[in-house]
Amino acid sequence: MDKILTFMKRNYKLILAVVLLAGVFLAFRQQSIANDKADAIQTGVYRVIQYAHYHPATVNNDFSEKVFKEFLDDLDPSKRYLLQSDWDTLSIYKDSIDNEIRDGRIDFYKKAYKIIQKRQKESITYIDGILDKGFDFDKDETLNIDYKKIKPAQNKAELIERWRKYLKFNTLSRLYDKIKEQEKKQKKDSTFKPKTRKELAQEALKATKKTIKTYIDALDDMENMDYFSMYMNVITLQNDPHTNYFSPQGKERFDTSMSGSFEGIGARLQKEGDYVKIIEVIAGGPAWKEGELKVGDIIQKVGQGDDEPVDILGMRLSKVVKLIKGPKGTVVKLIVKRVDGSIETIPITRDKVELEETFAKSLLIKDKKDTFGYIYLPKFYINFNDRNQRSAATDIKKELEKLKVQKVKGIVLDLRNNGGGSLSTVIDIAGYFIDKGPVVQVRDKKNDIEVLKDQDKAQIYGGNVVVLINELSASASEILAAALQDYNRAIIIGGNSYGKGTVQNLIELTRVEGDKFGDLGALKWTTKKFYRINGGSTQRKGVVPDIKLPDNYMYLDIREKDEPTALAWDKIRKAHYKTYKIADKENIVPKEQQRIDTTALFLHLKEKARWIADNKKDHTIYLKLDRYIADLKKDEKIGKRFDSLTKFQSKFNIQSLPADLAAKKQDTIFKSKRDKWIKAIKKDPYISEAVKVLKKELAQ
């Protein structure tokens, strides 16, 4: 699981623009030197980066050493598989990976893959043996989780000991949860008969065995291409944090994340033993509409239309998903085992499935005197395969028009945690708030500068605007926030944004290497840097808010500047534009900042942020039950100092727009989701602060 999480973290970073090229690489396609699919992928990636990356890394011995270490760290992030002898065996490649890349060979990868496969199979025997023995929770010992500083195990005995401590910690954590749960039951019910700690420990061990079985299944579900994708991304990330390789499946997931939709049945799946279990039926999807498929159903066979169903016993989850997905209008038959043991055949007509949580949505925020609008935009989504489908720009336009009908006195645009997306949607959305003019500047590797402009004079909303950002607002979010800040069109509040000032393109590698080996996946690589219309780059520095609000992220090393391969900050000439007089920053900002800096709530938030950062430096876990409980209680005691933060309740009246109220009456799931969202908004002090700033603008 550690390996999968590390791979996902490194492989799916914050994303900005993706623009498919129309043949620019035909000019440098050469006779392929590849012997197989993996060779072809590496060769294609190398050619594109060397030819077209904004600032390609120098591929030399230093490059080789970094790839060598980082790939082995990614293969075994928690140092529970590879021995020091494995590192020593592979060290013959440490200085030659650069030569392999140029020659179209992957000898290092093949050898490393063979070794990790062997060690993973061996680990299953360690795990079974350790769990069969159980654990002594009275033994005083600790687990060090500072994996970056832990060296590979010297021998198998040391490796087994690491597994023992890891599995003991997993079981100890479950035992503690069971103890806490039992204490709650005793308080509520005086007749409740508690179990002994020994009995609870046996239950916890049983739960660990079940979880580890799921972990092993997930590990087994990873194919050669999954590991090779990991390897390719170690190579691509040496150039900058946003140059990534996507396997064919990864490309499909990327497209889904960018568009917020796919064609299938609308269900989330999870491996359950040799079969696959339904863990969610997505509201509004075809399976949800037809109503036969239920959470908990176990899929045993999958059939296409009238064809004979295929038994999926032991099949990889990725292959089962591929069987179930398909074009809109086609029929898939699922033979499922119900919770009650009955077997049923469920035909489902595939259709477009929209992931509603990825789309823009709005609310009304009222007090006794005024009504304000609130728009939440989780990402700048677009369907690159069908530009006529909904996008962030079309949805934001609709939400703005709905809010204008309600005669709102100002709008809060929430871009917190928005990692970016399509560049074209940013230009459109910025244009909704200005008459006409430049939005962002981009510079390519030849130092040619292009000013991207909103050409439409129509301004959809001309009222007061406050934009909320934080440390995870990146790329497209930063372009929009920076443009509205430079135009003096909005007041920006929150935390300093992420600092991603680079532009990426995407190309399918078959266009570079041909289709001899089938689908080679795609490469997303950095081609340009973008700059604010005032000439400054957001790269590394991000967007500095007009009014700073403390949050949990403020002391954590999670921004672009903390990435070792991040490109440098610089600036270019200023674009030609005229500022607005809507946001009266000179009068509002200093007074509001002073008020916030002396407000107990935000002083408390700042204190919590410091505690979170300090707590992350503690890498020791106690494996003796009493010490483990004492350590957790110490943290709980400190954490209780911040309980008041969770009790915040907005004094504003927050409600759905009329159109959404009508939808709530017709759709109970939609109603449930919106009601939960409104409840969360009421507990969010940042949104309340944004509305207070809007009220200050009205008072000027």
What are the catalytic residues?
Answer: 475, 486, 500
Give the list of residues 6+ apart from residue 365 with CB closer than 8 angstroms, or none. 371, 372, 373, 374, 412, 652, 653, 654, 687, 691
Given a contact cutoff of 8 angstroms between Cβ atoms, the answer to whether 546 and 485 are in contact is yes
Give the list of residues 6+ apart from residue 683 with CB closer than 8 angstroms, or none. 646, 648, 649, 650
SS3 335: strand
* DSSP conformation letters of 227-243: HHHHHHHHHHTTT-TT-
Q: Phi and psi at residue 294, in whole multiples of 5°? A: -125, 150
- What region, left, alpha or beta, does residue 578 occupy, with left being phi > 0 and alpha being psi -120 to 50 degrees? beta
- The Cα–Cα gap between 474 and 489 comes to 20
- The Cα–Cα gap between 501 and 548 comes to 21
Which spans in 330-468 are helix H?
A: 392-405, 423-431
Buried (b) or exposed (e) across 337-370, using 16+ Cβ within 10 A? beeeeeeeebebebbebbbbebbbbbbbbbeeeb
Buried (b) or exposed (e) across 682-697, using 16+ Cβ within 10 A? bebbbbbbbbebbbbb
Give the list of residues 6+ apart from residue 189 with CB closer than 8 angstroms, or none. none
* DSSP conformation letters of 523-538: EEEEEEEEE-TTSBB-
- The Cα–Cα gap between 567 and 54 comes to 10
Question: What burial class does residue 375 get, using C-beta atoms within 10 Å of its C-beta: 0-12 exposed, 13-18 middle, 19+ buried?
Answer: buried
Given a contact cutoff of 8 angstroms between Cβ atoms, the answer to whether 427 and 397 are in contact is no
Helices (H) and strands (E) in the chain, counts: 23, 22
DSSP element (H, E) containing 450: strand 449-454
Q: Phi and psi at residue 44, in whole multiples of 5°? A: -65, -45
- The Cα–Cα gap between 96 and 91 comes to 10
At 546, list the tokens: 């007009």
Partners of 125 in beta bridges: none
Q: Phi and psi at residue 469, in whole multiples of 5°? A: -135, 165
* DSSP conformation letters of 100-129: HHHHT--HHHHHHHHHHHHHHHHHHHHHHH
- The Cα–Cα gap between 260 and 368 comes to 37
